[in-house]
Amino acid sequence: MNNPLKTAIDGNDTAWALTQQAQKLLDAGQCEAAALTADAALQRDRDSALAWLVKGQACKALRRLPEAVDAFNAVLTFAPALAGVHVNLANTYAELDRLPEAKTHLLKAVALKPDLAAAHASLGSIYMRMARLDLALEPSRQALALDPNLIAAHQNLASALSRSDPAQAQIHRDAAYREQQIFVERSAGSARTALILLTADTGNIPYKHLLPLARYSHVKWHIEYAPEGQERDLPDYDFIFNAIGDPDVAGPAQMAAERFVAKSTRPLVNRPECVARTYRSAMPALLGHIPDLVVPKVLRHARDNGKLDDALTDMSMPFPLIVRPAGLHGGDGMSLIKTPDELASATPDADILYATQFVDYRSDDGLYRKYRVIFVDRTPYPYHLAIGQRWVLHYKSADMNRDAVRREEEERFLSDPEGAIGARATAALVAIGAELGLDYAGIDFGILPDGRLLFFEANATMLVHPEDDPLFLYKNKAVDSILEAMSALIERKLQANSAGK
């Protein structure tokens, strides 16, 4: 049987004719055919900037991102002053997590075309992802000066101002989501579509690598802004991924998600009512009965409920204490308060605080070790081990890149977690996963000298991502296991739902 596409290609003699045909196919959403036809045009004329552009756009839609990068770079060799192509290339680099390169091309785009609002907004987004909130403000504001309705810029400012100016952050949050709550991100060739429930505030599960666009199209629904009855007009989807992961900041989104899934018959990842049980202050009661697990005392205190020191006395909370604002992670705003006399001067300024009993978890060599495990369908998978000299320990601040011995220890943990932490702690982990009842969650913990597991926190918001730094490539086998387990979980839920119909 003749191949219609091959016949059409062979029937065109010129690169221009093939490029025009490729553009029509792209406009019609036939991205695979568009890429093939653009390739045929490039075989006739490697210097066709338009053919390279069509190929780049088609490959980006097909999630063939490295090919899209090459194609957009080829366009720029012939036409370096095309600001829109710099934006396309930057956004592709951003999807590959190559943020410095994305930033470079966005800076070129705004220099070439200062009135290109989308370029300013994308630059703000890149700075947000680089954790440079200070740098994100100016391009985001510039984007809104050019286009007051640009949703991405309002989103950036809502996040960037959430701590320094909550009132302004809420204004931008409302501007972003009152008019539009549903955002669709289709991927050519993806067989399944995820309905992703989101809060417009912080505290969502980082789902990029858990739900790769190469496999799943996304329907992103900021559910607390949804008008009544919107659930009846949602785009088609196959399963629900509840990305609302932090009950301290979920607010109305949590309640809206609970109402929605109560009426839904679609497969669901992470029941909202299980997420609602992951307050830090709920952990001692939820997990305290598990053998070989130490769960320190935790107080959740609202400023409106009186003085913190009175509440600590009522709870017989021992010092030293770790005090932090509710809803913040990564050590932001956290203090170690050693005595009651330090309480007034060292307590963070926040409406709601957590006070947690501090338990010294130094190992015999004087170093601190913080382990992270990810639960997928309640099964624990090792993710990383941070080793450092300070009690407040995060992977980036632990300087793991400077110590090969520590990296070797982390690799041993990833390869043989039970061998690293012992059978007692491993059994405790399995019990924690079962008790949390979440399809996806993570836990941070230490190991005490007697082999018991010291609980730090467990919630659904923990990030999993592959590594591209050569020093840490050994971690990717563990990352792949987590991502494959998530894919298998979703397929099991889909199959069970289909069998039950």
Rounded to an integer, the average pLDDT of 152-165 is 91
pLDDT category at 12 given cuts 50, 70, 90 is: low
The 10 Å Cβ neighbour count of residue 482 is: 22
Residue 342: pLDDT over 90? no
What's the CA gap between 73 and 37, in Å, rounded? 19
What are the backbone dihedrals phi and psi of residue 360, each rounded to the nearest 5 degrees, phi first? -70, 125
Q: Which helix (H) or strand (E) holds 487?
A: helix 476-500
Q: What is the pLDDT of residue 7?
A: 46
Rounded to an integer, the average pLDDT of 330-337 is 76
Q: Which residues contact 31 (CB under 8 A, 6 or more apart)?
A: 25, 58, 61, 62, 188, 189
Q: Give the three-class secondary structure for 299.
A: strand
What's the CA gap between 389 and 362, in Å, rounded? 9
CA–CA distances in Å: residue 165 to residues 126, 127, 135, 162, 469: 21, 18, 16, 6, 35
Residue 294: pLDDT over 80? yes
Rounded to an integer, the average pLDDT of 408-427 is 97
Structure-derived torsion over alpha carbons of residues 145, 150, 153, 157, reported in degrees to the nearest 10: 80
Pairing, β 192-198 against β 216-222? parallel
Query: Nearest 5°: CA angle at 320, between 318 and 324?
Result: 105
Sheet order of strands, 453-459 included:
293-294, 453-459, 440-447, 368-376, 379-388
pTM here? 0.90
Rounded to an integer, the average pLDDT of 245-266 is 93
Q: Which residues contact 418 (CB under 8 A, 6 or more apart)?
A: 426
Rounded to an integer, the average pLDDT of 415-419 is 97
Query: Taking all residues of the chain, what is their mean pLDDT, rounded to a whole number?
Result: 92
CB 468 within 8 Å of CB 214: no
What's the CA gap between 10 and 40, in Å, rounded? 9
Residue 437: pLDDT over 80? yes
Q: Which residues contact 466 (CB under 8 A, 6 or more apart)?
A: 209, 476, 479, 480
CA atoms within 13 A on the CB side of 321: 29
Q: What is the pLDDT of residue 113?
A: 97
**CATH number assigned to the domain covering 368-490:** 3.30.470.20
Q: What is the pLDDT of residue 3?
A: 53
Q: What is the pLDDT of residue 366?
A: 92
Residue 301: pLDDT over 90? no
CA–CA distances in Å: residue 295 to residues 176, 290, 426, 444: 40, 9, 15, 12
Residue indicated by tokens 């079962």 = 434
Q: Give the three-class secondary structure for 189.
A: coil
Percent of the chain with pLDDT over 70: 96
CB 381 within 8 Å of CB 374: yes
**CATH number assigned to the domain covering 4-177:** 1.25.40.10
CA–CA distances in Å: residue 75 to residues 81, 113, 426, 472: 10, 17, 54, 34
Q: Which residues contact 170 (CB under 8 A, 6 or more apart)?
A: 158
Q: What is the DSSP letter of 318?
A: P
CB 252 within 8 Å of CB 203: no
Q: What is the pLDDT of residue 219?
A: 97
Rounded to an integer, the average pLDDT of 470-490 is 97
Q: What is the pLDDT of residues 271-282, one digit of tens each?
A: 999 999 999 999
What are the backbone dihedrals phi and psi of residue 497, each rounded to the nearest 5 degrees, phi first? -65, -40
What's the CA gap between 112 and 32, in Å, rounded? 32
Q: What tokens does 88 get?
A: 């396309």
In 208-313, the DSSP E strands lie at 216-222, 239-242, 268-269, 293-294, 298-302
Residue 2: pLDDT over 50? no
Q: What is the pLDDT of residue 331?
A: 61
Rounded to an integer, the average pLDDT of 361-379 is 95
Rounded to an integer, the average pLDDT of 287-298 is 96
Q: What is the pLDDT of residues 212-230, one digit of tens each?
A: 998 999 999 999 999 999 9
207 compared with 315, residue with greater pLDDT: 207
Q: What tokens does 338 get?
A: 């050693």
Q: Which residues contact 184 (CB under 8 A, 6 or more apart)?
A: 217, 218, 219, 220, 235
Q: What is the DSSP letter of 236?
A: P
Residue 4: pLDDT over 70? no
Q: What is the pLDDT of residue 308?
A: 82
Q: What is the pLDDT of residues 121-145, one digit of tens each?
A: 999 999 999 989 999 999 999 999 9
CATH homologous superfamily for the domain 297-357: ATP-grasp fold, A domain (3.30.1490.20)
Q: Which helix (H) or strand (E) holds 77?
A: helix 65-78
CA–CA distances in Å: residue 28 to residues 23, 37, 236: 9, 14, 20
What's the CA gap between 345 and 273, in Å, rounded? 37
Rounded to an integer, the average pLDDT of 44-66 is 95
Residue 500: pLDDT over 90? no
Q: What is the pLDDT of residues 163-215, one digit of tens each?
A: 789 899 999 999 999 989 999 998 877 789 999 999 998 789 999 999 999 89
Rounded to an integer, the average pLDDT of 451-467 is 95
Sheet order of strands, 192-198 included:
182-185, 216-222, 192-198, 239-242, 268-269
In 256-302, the DSSP E strands lie at 268-269, 293-294, 298-302
